[in-house]
Structure 1
Amino acid sequence: MRIYLPTTLALLAEQHAAGAVLVPDGAVVAEDDSEDAEYAALMTAADASAVQLAGAGRRVVVVADLAAEPAVGAAVPWREVVAVHADVEDRPAGADPDEDLAWFATQEVPDLF
């Protein structure tokens, strides 16, 4: 199952250092493995990330492949993370919510900080 975890850059930096990502309220599971379902889940999680920002900043979504849906607050080990999607620069509050996010491989995540 692919799960999309909305977060912020500050939280991502902390969780990356800790080796696990905490499942936030607002995590999204794709309805199926289709590209459309995965894109819809990504953009829903991006909206949740924008809410976490509560203003200007960069939306961030961590993507993980898991055997079962985790509970809110559960730790997802970094080895389960398959990618991170993020804005390439800070966005003003109220920016277009349909703007796509950039894809980052897990080894590129430290470059985001």
Structure 2
Amino acid sequence: MSVRVYVPTTLAGLAAFHAAGEVPAGTDHVEPEGDDEDSEYDALMTAAAASAELAPPDGRRVVLVAEVPEPGAAVPMRLVVSVHSDTEDRPAGADPEDDLAWFATQEIPDLIGGVGGG
């Protein structure tokens, strides 16, 4: 049985995870309270808010979604099922409730291309 987890990060964090081939054990994550769509959306938005705290003021929120056998353990990137991210850098004071765009895992190299510190 697997558990869906939502991992808040930044573009620079995503680039580091991608290069390492995994999300390290102990990385903060959010688990939905239930299996329904509302619980998963709430977990996504909670992770997005945590990502906003990690990102520079004009950076992008990034959330990895993974199906893991054990929360808290290292997550091989092959278990990441999608990435949610802002499509452009966010201005300071942007609404933290704005939705994120969905990206397939094959799009990670495009997302992280040219990443500096964001």
TM-score by length of 1: 0.91
2: distance between equivalents of 1:78 and 1:57?
23
- Structure 1: 4+ residue segments shifted above 6 A: none
AA aligned to 2:109 is P
Where 2:106 maps in the other structure, the secondary structure is: helix
Q: CA RMSD in A?
A: 1.2
**Which deviates more from structure 2 when the two are superposed, residues 44-53 or residues 60-69?**
60-69
Partner of 2:116: none
| Percent identity over paired residues | 63
2: distance between equivalents of 1:14 and 1:68?
22
1:31 to 27, 30, 33: 33
Q: State the Cα deviation string for residues 41-72 of structure 1 (Å, max 9, x = none).
A: 000000000000141110000000112221xx
2: distance between equivalents of 1:109 and 1:38?
22
Partner of 1:86: 85
The aligned runs of 1:1-113 (5 Å cut-off) are 1-22=3-24, 23-25=26-28, 27-70=29-72, 74-113=73-112
2: distance between equivalents of 1:24 and 1:87?
21
Gaps of 5+ in 2: 113-118
Query: Number of aligned pairs?
Result: 109
